[in-house]
Amino acid sequence: MTVVTRPTEPLAPRDYASDQEVRWCPGCGDYAILKAVLKTLADLQVPRERTVFVSGIGCSSRFPYYVSTYGFHTIHGRAPTMATGIKLANPDLDVWVITGDGDGLSIGGNHLLHVLRRNVNLQIILFNNEIYGLTKGQYSPTSRQGTRSPSTPAGSVDYPVSPGAFALGAGARFIARSIDTLQPHLVGVLKRAHAHRGASFVEVFQNCVVFNDEVFADFTEKAVAPEAQLQVEHGKPLLFGRARDKGLRLNTTTLLLEVVTLGEHGVTEKDVVVHDERNKGLAGMLLALQPPTFPMALGVIYCDPAPTYEEAVYSQVPAGANAAQADIEKLLHQGQTWTVAG
């Protein structure tokens, strides 16, 4: 086996890649996400020995094998539980949870809810391709109604769940969205997610080229993208469009956001909502926006840090508590004892 040498120069993205041949389908959006993650890790120069990628089951969940950090490919839907145990055992480890719309919101919905609710300090990337890829194309909890698939040949009838809205309802303090091929944007979002202390939830719209190709075309296709995507930034007005002449205004009667055009009907930039990533109500409204009536909101939509789970757990553990030095003698003799003389 090769002897590992510690590099003296900064690590490049390829240094964060493992030596394993990547086996996703040619054209799969996962390649782009992997590229963005490797770039993020390199830009941040994260120490590989303290980084752990934990995944469930699905195409998304093959991810850890392609990164040269520690990795744990677990069981369907349960990665957040192993990740929580990892953080409880060693809060200093930097943990990423990789999941998908099936792994995270179908079988794994309960665990996703609780890891977000608890605010465990880790990053969650949910690859949303609105389909089950690995098992060959069944519909998923995020699939639109009427999705034709091997298990729903007449079209699915379920109402889909919105990952972002779910995360907000679960109590997540950081919610962001991006697109697999929107590279610099995705890297920026991942860096913000990493910097956030607490559970960071990132939904990535990912294209499954084999089973659900172009499902996000209504806002990702080149021709429509500028008018159909709203890249939010804290402190900046919610403007979009090729000419940046469209914006979101709050209608004070309906209490809903509405699209307005600058210059029309006396609308100026002053009427447009300024993004406040600490505003939970605004986050809920942005997450609910759907094309074609509205643009898809992308970027860091909500970020309002709160103490993390491990901080709270360890605040109740005396400093220096060490099971290897547990005072068993004292424990066994506590309470009432008596002696039988020899």
Partner 1 sequence: MTTTSPVSALRETRDHVVIRFAGDSGDGMQLTGSQFTVETALAGNDLATFPDYPAEIRAPAGTTFGVSAFQIHFGATDIRTAGDEVDVLVAMNPAALSVNLRDLRLGGTIVADTGSFTERNLSKAGYSANPLDDGSLTPYQVIKLDVSRLTLDAVEPFGLGQKEALRCRNMWALGLMLWMYDRDRQATVNWLNQKFAKRPELGRANVAALNAGHAFGETAEMAAIVGYRVAPAVAEPGEYRTVSGTEALAWGLLAGVRAAGIKKLVFASYPITPASSLLHALAGLKAHGVVTFQAEDEIAAIGAAIGASYAGALGVTSSSGPGMALKTEALGLAIATELPLVVVNSQRAGPSTGMPTKTEQSDLYQAVLGRNADAPLVVLAAATPGDCFPVAIEAVRLATKYMTPVILLTDGYLANAAEPWRIPDVDRLPAFLVRFRTDPEGFHPFVRDPRTLARAWAVPGTPGLEHRIGGIERDHDSGHISYDPENHERMTRVRAAKIAGIANDIPLQEVAEGPSRGKLAVVGWGSTYGPILQAVRQAREEGLGVSHVHLRYLSPFPRNLGALLQGFEKVLVPEMNNGQLVNLLRAAYLIPAQGLNKIQGKPFKVREIRAAIDSVLDEGR
18 binds partner 1 (CB under 8 A): yes
119 binds partner 1 (CB under 8 A): no
| 119 vs 109: CA distance, rounded Å | 16
Nearer to partner 1, 3 or 154 (CB): 3
Residue 172: closest CA among 313, 299, 305: 305
Q: Which of 31, 43, 70, 165 binds partner 1 (CB under 8 A)?
A: 70
110 binds partner 1 (CB under 8 A): yes
Q: Which residues of 256-267 are buried (b: 16+ CB within 10 A; e: fewer)?
A: ebebbebeeeeb
Interaction with partner 1 in 201-260: which residues (CB under 8 A)?
A: none
| Phi and psi, residue 181, nearest 5° | -90, 0
Residue 120: closest CA among 163, 75, 87: 87
Nearer to partner 1, 235 or 335 (CB): 335
Compute CA distances 82 → 58, 94, 113, 326, whole Å.
17, 13, 14, 26
Contact criterion met (CB below 8 Å) for 174 and 198: yes
Nearer to partner 1, 255 or 341 (CB): 341
Q: Which of 14, 89, 154, 222 binds partner 1 (CB under 8 A)?
A: 89
Span from 215-223, 283-291, 293-301, 309-317 in contact with partner 1 (CB under 8 A): 309-317
Directed axis angle between helix 79-89 and helix 109-118, to 10°? 30
Shortest separation between residue 326's beta carbon and partner 1, angstroms: 4
Nearer to partner 1, 87 or 173 (CB): 87
74 binds partner 1 (CB under 8 A): yes
Q: Which of 27, 85, 150, 307 binds partner 1 (CB under 8 A)?
A: 85
Nearer to partner 1, 18 or 290 (CB): 18
| Phi and psi, residue 298, nearest 5° | -130, 160
286 binds partner 1 (CB under 8 A): no
Q: Which of 7, 10, 26, 335 binds partner 1 (CB under 8 A)?
A: 335
Contact criterion met (CB below 8 Å) for 176 and 287: no
Size of the site for partner 1 (CB under 8 A): 65
3-class DSSP state of 247 = strand
Residue 217: closest CA among 285, 279, 144, 167: 144
8 binds partner 1 (CB under 8 A): no
Contact criterion met (CB below 8 Å) for 34 and 69: no
Q: Which residues bind partner 1 (CB under 8 A)?
A: 1, 3-4, 6, 18, 20, 48-50, 52-54, 64-65, 67-75, 78, 80-90, 92-93, 110-111, 113-114, 313, 316-318, 321-329, 331-333, 335-342
